[in-house]
Chains A and B, each alone.
Chain A
Amino acid sequence: EVQLVESGGGLVQPGGSLRLSCAASGLTFNTYWMHWVRQAPGKGLVWVSQINSDGTNTNYADSVKGRFTISRDNAKNTLYLQMNSLRVEDTAMYYCTRGYYYGTDYWGQGTLVTVSS
């Protein structure tokens, strides 16, 4: 059974940093693209970033480019999202999700990031 478990969320002040993790199990992690998707409270889903299977290719939404960095450790079956220079508008539930044939299939339960002073 595929499981994706996010962690690392919490309360942080504007301008601060957080690193999110997504531990994957039940899949051959190093063969899949992975994504981060976020959802602000009461709002819709927003794609944030993706990384290819070996970590050599990454893409970002304009709203986070230059501030967020996606990475992965295939030896640890773990996906990361380093978030710097956080803004109030980055407040959201952050989901990791597995890439599957030009889409995504399995999703974690999310980790909540709150940016507030």
Chain B
Amino acid sequence: QTVVTQEPSLTVSPGGTVTLTCASSTGAVTSGYYPNWFQQKPGQAPRALIYSTSNKYSWTPARFSGSLLGAKAALTLSGVQPEDEAEYYCLLYYGGAQPWVFGGGTKLTVL
């Protein structure tokens, strides 16, 4: 069974920079896994932030960026705002009969 691993929790100060990562049990994450990133606040539906590693949606704030960092996918927040406190999920594409696997999520605290 494929497992996608994220940091369970991270803390960042307002105005700071933080990087969240997303690893695959199958090996290095490449662009072929089309990493997606989502933000979810309590009581709300998830909101898409990044698709295909680094592409932003029209609603994605400029301070969010996606990349590959070593063998992982990464989401970097630069100039963190208090409203960025949320759970963040990555999603990887594996193809085949069960093509999609979410990571377990990272709870980001802005303190």
Stretch of B9-17, B18-26, B77-85, B99-107 on the interface side: B99-107
How big is chain B's contact interface, by range? 20 to 34
Shortest Cβ distance from B45 into A: residue? A107
Tell me, in angstroms, the Cα distance from A101 to B1 when the chains sit together.
Answer: 24
| CB proximity to A under 8 Å, residues B74-111 | 87, 89, 91, 93, 97-105
Once A102-B93, A103-B91 are accepted as A-B contacts, the answer to whether A47 and B100 lie under 8 Å apart by CB is: yes
With a cutoff of 8 Å between Cβ atoms, the chain B residues found around residue A32 in the complex are none
Q: Would you call A44 and B102 a contact (CB within 8 A)?
A: yes
Chain A residue contacts of B93, Cβ below 8 A: 102-103
- The stretch from A13-21, A54-62, A67-75 touching chain B is A54-62
A interface SS class: strand
Interface: A88 (CB within 8 A): no
Minimum C-beta distance from A77 to chain B (A): 19
Which of the residues B46, B55, B97 comes within 8 Å of A107, measured between beta carbons? Answer: B46
Residues on B with beta carbons closer than 8 Å to the beta carbon of A107: 45-48
Q: Is the CB of B48 within 8 A of A103?
A: yes
A 92-115 binary contact with B (CB < 8 Å = 1; else 0)? 000101001111111111100000
- With an 8 A cutoff between CB atoms, is B36 at the interface? yes
In this assembly, does B64 line the interface, its C-beta being within 8 Å of a C-beta of chain A?
A: no
Docked complex: B44-72 residues within 8 A CB-CB of A: 45-48, 51-52, 55, 57
Supply 12 A–B pairs (Cβ within 8 Å), ascending by A: A44-B89, A45-B46, A45-B89, A45-B91, A46-B102, A47-B101, A97-B46, A102-B51, A103-B36, A105-B48, A107-B48, A110-B45
Of B1, B97, B99, B102, which contacts A45 at CB under 8 A? Answer: B102
Residues on B with C-beta less than 8 A from A50 are 99-100
Residues of B within 8 A of A105 (CB): 48, 51, 57
Q: Which of A47, A61, A101, A109 contacts B91 (CB 8 A)?
A: A47
B52 contacts A62, CB within 8 Å?
A: no
Q: Are A47 and B102 in contact (CB under 8 A)?
A: yes
Q: Is the CB of A35 within 8 A of B100?
A: yes
